[in-house]
């Protein structure tokens, strides 16, 4: 995969002189969101830019080991107004790992107040919205971190990737590819991993931080949701699970604890599509995963005001849990009737 020359030249122009830069990523930031933001921030800072990284809400505790994560401004907890100040004064606003401003929640309104800053998208989600001055949008890329690595490589040279950047980039590449197992993984992804590995990072340490650092509550919540809440239907090819706010409290839920649960039903033979419904204060978060040709991006767009990737997408429901599940089961029937499942 190559990033178009004209896009790189445009980006080079934007960052030629030191600028006030804001780097934003999406609500419920994951390894790819945090990793790409921190790596991009590091290289820009080294070239004299004044950089603030902002995420709309808290990131999972098991990503706190990522170098530089302590400097991330969490908009929701930002009592000092650092985020608003940085956004208002920014010359450049980078939007990483998301494709539409609606994924920023309240932070989107703050961005709208700054009409003079150039907006640059670096992302790999399908169907990005058009409100950007420069779009580095490659849905075929396995992660935003991989795109950042390619950009850094062509613009500054692979030797400019520090060990800290390598850790951050590796986390996003690893988590967004299900440990380098998805169809988006190409030979060039492994070429990039080999560059990162040569920076002296410890892959076992990173793996332990990301996958083996959960709380006891998460382990018990997982057992509970699989045993008690997973419903399998449509001849064993579709599964859904749900967690209410009450259930989350019972297991001392922390941000990120239910991350990845939605993938587990796909380990069952014949399973094609898995859905997870998690109750939040104002809505129910819908996570969708699928195997092979089954397209959950279209499903999420059509039935849950969302989107994402072909095999991993999400959306929201503003109904209660019972009605959300009914709506899901009805939508599955409709989708299957059209031959899409």
Nearest approach, Cβ of 93 to Mn ion (angstroms)?
18
The helix (run of H) or strand (run of E) holding residue 257 is: none
Pairing between strand 134-137 and 231-233? unpaired
Nearest approach, Cβ of 38 to Mn ion (angstroms)?
14
Q: Which is nearer to Mn ion, 138 or 251 (CB)?
A: 138
Beta bridge partners of 53: 23
Q: Which is nearer to Mn ion, 149 or 225 (CB)?
A: 149
CA–CA distance, 141 with 283 (Å, rounded to integer): 30
CA–CA distance, 59 with 81 (Å, rounded to integer): 19
Candidates 84, 66, 67; CA nearest to 75 is: 84
State the residues that interact with Mn ion by CB under 5 A. 32, 97, 144, 176
The helix (run of H) or strand (run of E) holding residue 321 is: helix 321-337
Q: Which is nearer to Mn ion, 170 or 251 (CB)?
A: 170
Q: Which is nearer to Mn ion, 149 or 243 (CB)?
A: 149
Q: Which residue is nearest to Mn ion (CB)?
A: 32
Nearest approach, Cβ of 245 to Mn ion (angstroms)?
27
Candidates 109, 100, 167, 105; CA nearest to 127 is: 100
Q: Which is nearer to Mn ion, 240 or 309 (CB)?
A: 309
CA–CA distance, 97 with 122 (Å, rounded to integer): 7
Nearest approach, Cβ of 32 to Mn ion (angstroms)?
3
Spatial contact of 118 and 93, defined as CB atoms under 8 Å apart:
yes
Nearest approach, Cβ of 309 to Mn ion (angstroms)?
8
């Amino acid at each position: 995969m190559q990033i178009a020359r004209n896009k790189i030249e445009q980006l080079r122009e934007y960052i030629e002189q030191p600028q006030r830069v804001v780097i934003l990523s999406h609500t419920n930031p994951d390894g790819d969101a945090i990793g790409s933001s921190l790596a991009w921030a590091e290289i820009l800072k080294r070239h004299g830019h004044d950089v603030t990284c902002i995420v709309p809400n808290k990131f999972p505790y098991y990503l706190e080991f990522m170098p530089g994560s302590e400097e991330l401004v969490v908009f929701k907890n930002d009592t000092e107004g650092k985020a608003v100040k940085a956004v208002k004064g920014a010359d450049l606003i980078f939007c990483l790992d998301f494709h539409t401003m609606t994924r920023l929640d309240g932070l989107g309104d703050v961005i709208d107040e700054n009409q003079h800053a150039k907006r640059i998208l670096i992302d790999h989600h399908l169907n990005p919205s058009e409100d950007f001055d420069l779009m580095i949008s490659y849905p075929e890329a396995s992660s935003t971190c991989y795109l950042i690595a390619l950009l850094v490589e062509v613009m500054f040279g692979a030797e400019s990737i520090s060990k800290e950047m390598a850790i951050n980039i590796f986390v996003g590449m690893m988590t967004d590819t299900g440990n380098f197992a998805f169809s988006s993984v190409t030979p060039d992804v492994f070429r990039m991993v080999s560059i990162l590995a040569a920076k002296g990072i410890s892959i076992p340490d990173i793996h332990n931080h990301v996958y083996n650092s959960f709380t006891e509550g998460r382990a018990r919540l997982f057992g509970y949701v699989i045993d008690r809440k997973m419903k399998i239907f449509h001849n064993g090819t579709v599964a859904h699970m749900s967690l209410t706010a009450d259930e989350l409290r019972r297991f001392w839920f922390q941000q990120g604890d239910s991350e990845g649960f939605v993938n587990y039903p796909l380990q069952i033979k014949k399973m094609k599509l898995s859905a997870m419904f998690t109750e939040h204060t104002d809505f129910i978060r819908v996570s969708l995963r699928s195997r092979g040709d089954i397209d959950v991006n279209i499903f999420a767009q059509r039935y849950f005001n969302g989107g994402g990737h072909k095999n991993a997408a999400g959306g929201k429901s503003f109904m209660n849990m019972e009605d959300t599940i009914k709506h899901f089961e009805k939508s599955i029937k409709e989708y299957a009737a059209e031959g899409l499942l």
